[in-house]
């Protein structure tokens, strides 16, 4: 499934148009609505609640983004919706709630967080929860994950939605808990064709990687993350077809 042009013709707000100081925490309803109003594309993350619902939240643990502690997967969806995001006025939204807010107004890029712990095949119920939430949604959506197994699963669950891989340099410093053999395997994006990917979203500081150049030469759209200044944007756009941004407005 080809990535629609709408994902390339406007910058994409990383975790929506967030600014905690202005009451818009990352992946919050407030940040979603701000991005829609500004006309930006939106990138969000999804994790799974204990009762199998897709929640729009980046971390595996609640402590950085809320006043609570513990794994997000140890709470039911109703409880998570009642936990306020730090700096905001609302709780953790479900994917279904975010889809209702976006309502097709702008493209939505959904990153499915790894549930295996080592980018392996134990992807759990999150993919099915995402597919259920997307059922009947008419807006422009693309799905991606660092875990190739999750992307492969979505080929079955959501065959009509474009799929991509989130990719990077996989340094030991950034991925200390990921086995070296897995980092070495994923670094050169070997699963692109196998999982039916149609784009990548690659780490901006690693855009000069030969494998990225080869994919671009083959006509594959290259998105990148995360751009935080006009200077970084100018540099990234030498390779990337579009950017995911935060901390400034492009």
Q: Is residue 185 one of the residues assigned to a domain?
A: yes
- Domain assignment present for residue 204? The answer is yes
| CA angle, residues 162, 167, 168, in degrees to nearest 5 | 165
Tell me whether residue 45 is in a domain: yes
* 126 domain residue, yes or no: yes
Give yes or no for residue 148 having a pLDDT over 90.
yes
Q: Domain count of the chain?
A: 1
> What's the CATH number where 195 sits?
3.20.20.190
Q: Strands, DSSP E only, in the chain?
A: 12-14, 41-48, 54-56, 108-112, 141-145, 163-167, 199-203, 222-227, 242-245
Is 70 inside a domain boundary? yes
pLDDT tens, residue by residue, 29-56: 999 999 999 999 999 999 999 999 999 9
Query: Quick check: is 250 in a domain?
Result: no
Q: What is the pLDDT of residue 1?
A: 87
Residue 22, pLDDT score: 97
**pLDDT at 161 (0 to 100):** 98
> What is the DSSP secondary structure assignment for residue 13, as one 8-state letter?
E
pTM over 0.95: yes
Please give the residue range of the domain that contains residue 171.
5-245
Separation of alpha carbons 103 and 152, rounded Å: 26
- Whether residue 67 lies inside any domain: the answer is yes
* Joined tokens for residue 134: 């997307």
Cβ atoms 127, 52 nearer than 8 A: no
The answer, yes or no, to whether residue 168 has pLDDT greater than 90, is yes
């Amino acid at each position: 499934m080809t990535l629609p042009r709408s994902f390339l013709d406007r910058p994409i707000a990383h975790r929506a148009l967030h600014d905690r100081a202005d009451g818009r925490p990352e992946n919050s309803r407030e940040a979603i609505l701000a991005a829609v109003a500004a006309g930006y594309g939106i990138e969000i993350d999804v994790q799974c609640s204990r009762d199998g619902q897709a929640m729009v939240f980046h971390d595996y643990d609640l402590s950085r983004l809320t006043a609570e502690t513990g794994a997000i997967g140890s709470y039911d969806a109703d409880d998570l919706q009642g936990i306020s995001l730090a700096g905001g006025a609302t709780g953790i939204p479900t994917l279904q709630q975010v889809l209702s807010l976006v309502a097709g107004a702008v493209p939505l890029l959904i990153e499915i967080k790894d549930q295996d712990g080592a980018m392996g095949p134990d992807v759990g119920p999150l993919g099915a929860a995402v597919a259920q939430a997307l059922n009947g949604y008419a807006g422009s959506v693309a799905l991606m994950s660092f875990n190739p197994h999750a992307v492969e699963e979505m080929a079955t669950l959501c065959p009509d939605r474009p799929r991509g891989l989130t990719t990077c340099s996989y340094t030991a410093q950034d991925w200390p808990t990921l086995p070296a053999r897995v980092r070495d395997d994923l670094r050169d994006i070997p699963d692109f064709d196998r999982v039916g990917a149609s784009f990548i979203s690659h780490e901006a500081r690693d855009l000069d990687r030969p494998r990225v150049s080869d994919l671009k030469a083959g006509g594959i759209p290259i998105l990148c993350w995360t751009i935080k200044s006009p200077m970084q944007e100018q540099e990234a756009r030498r390779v990337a077809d579009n950017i995911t941004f935060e901390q400034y407005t492009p």
